[in-house]
Amino acid sequence: MNKNSWYIVCCIMLGLAILPVMPYGYYMLLRVVICGVCLWQIITLYNNKGTLPVGLCLIALLYNPIFSVGLTRGVWTILNIATLIYFISNMKATK
């Protein structure tokens, strides 16, 4: 899968995370996928261009599955929407 395919998977997962009917396990899976994709992109961009994308670093830290960030459901919804917008803008920038 290429970079945009992973961003599409993340965007779909973030869109579903906004729904109020998702079980807690889904959010744990979301954190693993989002953090993994961000780390993969950070490493790829650093190796290819020598740059460190700050936005991806912040998202990876926020969604990391090891040290959970305790925020309310409303705050997570806003962060999910912001992350979704960030990923969509990254997809458009790479075309």
Number of folded domains that form the chain: 1
Q: Tens digit of pLDDT for each residue in 29-82?
A: 999 999 999 999 899 888 888 777 889 999 999 999 898 888 888 899 999 999
> 57 lies in which domain range?
3-93
Q: What is the largest CA-CA distance in the chain?
A: 41
CB within 8 Å of 5: residues ≥ 6 apart: none
At residue 21, the pLDDT reads 86
pLDDT at 70: 83
Looking at residues 15-20, what average pLDDT do you find? 91
3-state secondary structure of 60: helix
Amino acid at 14: L
